[in-house]
Structure 1
């Protein structure tokens, strides 16, 4: 049974997942409404991701000495305000700025939330508790993203952001009611916390996160035009396919939590990145086959979110003494991957290639993540032999 104190973390994850991923579903409608190309509209995905990259370590560093509950409430208030402003944006430039600002509290919320979840978890269940928080993100893809995609297609993309702001307000209320007061852990200070960046293992973990998961985002950023213009699905079927992706994510995050509690984090990450590379390649091979693409939509979503818990554990393990900062870096890494995947996946499209082309970019990025994971495992073996 899920602890009530973890529910607000999952609800916050739901709002964050919805605002991040609904953009992929409404991208064609938004581009048409603002009279811009789809590759240019893809910059809105990158802007949000860059906000996460900047905000995660900066906000966590500034507020590490504050009680976690107060910090989480503050992050959700910022998230709510900037998503509400996104709904009101009069044009592309203002929306681009609002997307960047709404991304600032995203990674910081997950970073602090992961530490809070681990402190609330039963013995030996830290990864499972983190998976509960991430399950909100996956449920967003089952319910929130398809609903937002439907609303964006049939009414207006602006209403999708209104829905996100409403979830943000609900999260603030549940944080106040159900999350217990936890004492702030003493910090060695922002400058001393930054000493974790001298560790080669941390940089490898960040590279695995940013480049390896970037493959998923190169696929997911352009999933709407891929399925409608290449595979031949009608636009009205997109919400249902996004639901299928979300169901896969929900199954995957639970699998990832179990793997991270039962085997070493690097091995779990390596296994999942190899399967991710194969799945992304299959998306390119079977891009015109509707039945195959439905199976792959589920499997690719499941594989991607299964990476969340073991990567989070990997970063915390390599940030001893500054675990909250290390935890926040997970979302920075994911969203460097988001920005890089959206950009690199859009390059072949801008050059005139088909919507199957981003899948080969995606598989290559996942493959590089596999190589970095192999390097980490080899380094760990050398350190054990020399100890």
Structure 2
């Protein structure tokens, strides 16, 4: 699904950062809020719906799997729909899913609502990344994607703590009501600010599948999944890790997560600029940094001050890699950039689900304080694969 020209036949004016990208940022904020806020209100959901905490935790796992499986399928099925129309259809579906969550009478209905919402996630980011990158000059692509992705990171600073506060004081259903309202705001922004775009002739399904199944792209999707698995092996269980191992008060965890979100936002912006400067070296350097930081966290987790500092640096590095990685994925599938971009989010969310599972396994069979070094190991495997790909590409270029 490629961005072409406006319907009035004039070229899209490629400014450094068009205002229209901010409407994508608002949508990303709403989606980020609905993805992560469940972690803060999970005990409330479990108690109210009379299920165990581990059963309630499946709402996180199934959301991630819904993104992983549903997003590429939805992107293929909707490839003939103009991008602007597709974006606001996705936001309507997003609002519907969160609206059902507000009134869900039981666990099963809430799970269905979460799956509906998950369908919008990957496709929104996939199509949104293509639109954002094509509204700016080529040397600003990663920066434009990072502006859109900033909505996801700002959601960690403002949206998730706010949603958690609302859920703990007004009931978890109120959290989803707030997210639905944010979705309505994003929908209005998309309708007003995203330009009308003319659709190029759709690429055949066979060509899209061929573009998506090329070995190099699949390896990069695996690298992204490993990076996210390392992140969520630790992040899913950050609350018990900080309370039981670090020894911080439970009410302080929210503020530590706000600080993590500040690091995430800083990293996202800096990562976009680094990727526009040197794409692959920045990706490799950031993966290496994440490995080091998580390894160090194994030792700093026992002290509140060093633990908080490490968490900030971890958030910065973990999300700095994402804009450049998204651009790299799209560049490997020029025939189907939207599908490749969506597949990247699918692979990432599959990594989220795997990371949450591995983290639970580590807690059951190793120990809670083993989480950071296991996360570092997963990212390290991704780093080895990425380095091997980079060396191979350099040799090919030298030979050519």
> Under a length normalisation based on structure 1, what TM-score does the superposition of the two structures give?
0.94
CA RMSD of aligned residues (A): 1.7
Secondary structure (helix, strand or coil) at the match of 1:183 reads: strand
CA distance in 2 between partners of 1:99 and 1:60 (Å) = 19
CA distance in 1 between partners of 2:310 and 2:213 (Å) = 39
Instruction: Tell me the CA shift for residue 313 of structure 1.
Output: 0.9
Contact 1:42 1:342 in 2 (8 A): no
CA distance in 1 between partners of 2:107 and 2:201 (Å) = 43
Which consecutive residues of structure 1, in runs of 5 or more, have no partner in the other structure?
A: none
The equivalent residue for 1:184 is 199
Match of residue 384, structure 2, among 344, 367, 371: 371
The equivalent residue for 2:4 is none
Which consecutive residues of structure 2, in runs of 5 or more, have no partner in the other structure?
A: 1-15
Contact 2:300 2:310 in 1 (8 A): no
| 1:1-387 correspondence to structure 2 within 5 Å | 2-264=17-279, 266-351=280-365, 353-387=366-400
| Residues 344 and 306 of structure 1: CA distance in aligned 2, closer, same or farther (over 3 Å) | same
Secondary structure (helix, strand or coil) at the match of 1:187 reads: coil
Range moving further from structure 2, 118-127 or 136-145: 118-127
Instruction: Tell me the CA shift for residue 32 of structure 1.
Output: 3.9
How many residues align structurally? 385
Instruction: Tell me the CA shift for residue 305 of structure 1.
Output: 1.2
CA distance in 2 between partners of 1:361 and 1:152 (Å) = 32
Secondary structure (helix, strand or coil) at the match of 1:356 reads: helix
CA distance in 1 between partners of 2:20 and 2:149 (Å) = 14
Deviating beyond 6 angstroms after TM superposition, the runs of 4 or more aligned structure 1 residues are none
> Under a length normalisation based on structure 2, what TM-score does the superposition of the two structures give?
0.92
Contact 1:253 1:307 in 2 (8 A): yes
| Residues 187 and 72 of structure 1: CA distance in aligned 2, closer, same or farther (over 3 Å) | same
Range moving further from structure 2, 298-307 or 5-14: 298-307
| Residues 50 and 306 of structure 1: CA distance in aligned 2, closer, same or farther (over 3 Å) | same
| Residues 312 and 160 of structure 1: CA distance in aligned 2, closer, same or farther (over 3 Å) | same
